Amino acid sequence: MTVPFAVKGIDHVVLRADDVERLIAFYVSLLGCPVERISGDLVQLRAGTSLLDIVPRQIDAEKGRNMDHLCFTLAPFDEDQITAWLQANNVVVGEKAVRYGAGGYARSIYLNDPEGNGLELREAVA
């Protein structure tokens, strides 16, 4: 079986912050990434065609690991084919959901890479 999709780009990266306001100020003031959306504790900054999401670090989150997850956009996005491909390659597939990202709302599949980094595979939307 060949890879049933192509990675089209990075939709977003989610960073965990000890000082959320300070991190937001850094990206907004220094790099010019405007706040696009706030949903509860999640703050989403626009970074070109991508988003940079900032969330508070959870008490039990390991220090030094401040990336919550990286999100790639995929096309085509056939959820069953992607799931089958991942499982055939011994990857544990996590939650499947529809969430907001750089291109708006779309379907996503969550998993971890071999180093334990969170990964979201997201439907590329036009």
Which pLDDT does position 62 carry in this prediction? Answer: 64
Structural domain containing residue 36: 6-123
Kindly indicate the confidence band of residue 114, based on its pLDDT and cuts at 50, 70 and 90: confident
Least confident of 50-64, 65-79, 112-126: 50-64
Structural domain includes residue 1: no
pLDDT of amino acid 63: 67
Share of the chain above pLDDT 90, in %: 83
Q: What CATH number is given to the structural domain containing 88? A: 3.10.180.10
Question: What's the confidence (pLDDT) of residue 93?
Answer: 97
Residue 33 in any domain: the answer is yes
Strands (E), 18-92: 35-39, 42-47, 50-56, 67-75
Give CA–CA dist 68/123, Å, rounded.
19
Model pLDDT for residues 66-98, shown as the tens digit of each residue: 888 999 999 999 999 999 999 999 999 999 999
Total of domains in the chain: 1
Beta strand 6-17 with 50-56: parallel, antiparallel or unpaired? parallel
Asked whether residue 111 is domain-assigned, the answer is: yes
Tokens of 64: 């030094």
Per-residue tokens: 35: 């706040």
Query: Residue 42, Cβ neighbours under 10 Å: how many?
Result: 14
Q: Is residue 72 part of a domain?
A: yes
Q: Which residue has the tokens 């990857």?
A: 91
Residue 34 clears pLDDT 90, i.e. is over it: yes
Instruction: Assess if residue 19 is contained within a domain.
Output: yes
In a domain, 10, yes or no: yes
